[in-house]
Structure 1
Amino acid sequence: MKVLVGTCGFPKARRVVYETLDVVELQETFYNMPRRERMAELRREAPEFRFTAKVFQGITHPPDSPTFKRTRGFKPGEGHGLLKPTRENLRLWEEFLEAVAPLRPEVLVFQTPPSLKPLPHIYDFFRSVAGGWRLAWEPRGETYRDPGLIRKVADLGILIVVDPLRREPLPADLYYFRLHGLGKGEVNYRYKYTDDDLKKIAAVIRKLRGDAVYVMFNNIYMYDDAVALKQMLSREAPDT
């Protein structure tokens, strides 16, 4: 199994990240609709590097989400957000795909807010957009009250994103992990992963059966933690 270790965003100069890590999940595509020119620029800058991208929040978050304070040139309306299969959301999705295409991202990641309730329309949305691109969904909070819904979405071929230190991944051909730190809440960005934490992650990876796993750190120390995990996995790799 191929193990791809990276970060959510660029915690260091891009050149350093390209040289030391395997993959980056773009965060700028969440806060603002991506520009084709910017996506093409990044691909020219790193022709062989792996990218994934976080889906624009206009599709995933409610219009009153505080995250829209960082958004330019877009004002969400009633038909936007919360994975509703509305004409507005589906049009925004097509616009997003057109804009991000020059980057050639390997996975597009939907992160929904903890307040999102596990309503049937979530399945309808993913059924409408599945196919063509490799998609991943990180359910949080309320949505986990309906594991049946999550499994139905997974049956569409959508990767279910988990933190392997918090939840067991569903069997799949491809896995996508996002690590936001440990603690009482769902996120603890100030958390620094210990060697014992990294060993537990490595142990989970060893048990997986599939083609590849993306391990994406999303905390203040994400670069150091990603490098440490890569080094640990390298030491554990059998000699060839």
Structure 2
Amino acid sequence: MELTIRVGCCGFPVSRRKYYNTFSLVELQNTFYNLPSIQWVESLRKEIPKGFIITMKAWQVITHPSKSPTWKKLKEKPSGILENYGWLKPTNENIVAWEKVLDIAVKLDAKVIVLQTPASMPYSDESINWTKEFFKQITSITPKNIVIGWEPRGQWVNGEALSVLRSILKEYNITHIVDLFRRKPVYIHGINYVRLHGIGKGETNYKYKYTDEDLEKLYEMLLEIGYRENFILFNNVHMFNDGQRFKQILVDKGINVL
């Protein structure tokens, strides 16, 4: 099977004009901290080149509880009961927040919405049930051409939890987003979506610069997985350069890289 690999960055590390001339994929990060204005969304949609793909990180209030330090960057607190936000709970507050994210995704023609939950999200019978209900509700209102991806951390990606995670992802057609240098996806739907946070201890090492050997290994891991469509998003300090080098390695191999 011939792989199609699209490479990009999490956010714009350089001017957008320079970025568009280098990559054909970006994962928007500003959508995580605050919902952008409709004017900004429409302006961005008009300026992007033909064939350029946008994905977006979901609004933090859906994934992170109100006590999360990331909430300090919220320009305006969401309405409703603050304790009902975060951790993919199937509350009215989270579902309404998802509807707002969805509205932006549709206007942007975003291909993927990324749900990245913190390590603090509990793994228990209760959280398993509420996560299932959350995905049941959001998949019923999300257009089929938008892939929903989940990047869980903490207890959700250890030991016996992985089989439960796979069951949930498979039941609701959610793609498992991973950093391949830390773990492999347990279920893929639509797109093999990889976010690279730097190699090291813990979940992130943003200052890490990928070596050519690392990038060769990344390609080998993609071959091993063998999924047809792959989105590779660099999310480290050196993302722009690392992404360019990975693209060149793929070109030199004759791979269909976009």
The TM-score by the shorter chain falls in which range?
over 0.9
Task: Out of 195-204 and 98-107, give the one that drifted further.
Answer: 98-107
How many aligned positions are there?
A: 239
Q: Percent identity?
A: 39
* CA-CA distance at 1:38 after TM superposition: 1.1
- 1:48-73 per-residue CA deviation (whole Å, 9 max, x = no partner) reads 21110000001110101111111112
Matches of 1:163 and 1:99, distance apart in 2: 26
Matches of 2:40 and 2:85, distance apart in 1: 24
Matches of 2:83 and 2:247, distance apart in 1: 44
Trace 1:92-103 onto structure 2 (pairs within 5 A). 92-103=97-108
Tell me what 1:17 maps to.
19
Counterpart of 2:169 (choices 145, 154, 179) is 154
Structure 2 segments unaligned to the other structure (5+ residues): none
CA contact (8 A) 2:147 2:191 kept: no
Q: For 1:11, what is the secondary structure of its paired residue?
A: coil
Report whether the alignment pairs 1:191 with 2:208. Answer: yes
Tell me what 1:64 maps to.
67
Counterpart of 1:109 (choices 114, 128, 131) is 114
Letter in 1 for 2:14: K
Tell me what 1:228 maps to.
245
Q: Which portions of structure 1, spanning 4 or more consecutive aligned residues, are displaced by more than 4 angstroms?
A: none
Q: TM-score of the superposition, structure 1-length normalised?
A: 0.94
CA contact (8 A) 1:39 1:103 kept: yes
* CA-CA distance at 1:75 after TM superposition: 4.2
Distance 1:237 1:157, change over 3 A: same
Q: For 1:20, what is the secondary structure of its paired residue?
A: coil
- 1:92-147 per-residue CA deviation (whole Å, 9 max, x = no partner) reads 11122113321111100000011111221112211211242210000111221311
CA contact (8 A) 1:35 1:100 kept: no
Counterpart of 1:201 (choices 198, 214, 218) is 218
Letter in 2 for 1:63: S
Q: For 2:192, what is the secondary structure of its paired residue?
A: strand
Distance 1:238 1:228, change over 3 A: closer
- 1:21-63 per-residue CA deviation (whole Å, 9 max, x = no partner) reads 1210000000001222211111101142111000000111010
Report whether the alignment pairs 1:125 with 2:140. Answer: no
CA contact (8 A) 1:39 1:101 kept: no
Q: TM-score of the superposition, structure 2-length normalised?
A: 0.88
Task: Out of 172-181 and 220-229, give the one that drifted further.
Answer: 172-181
* CA-CA distance at 1:238 after TM superposition: 6.1
Task: Out of 17-26 and 147-156, give the one that drifted further.
Answer: 147-156
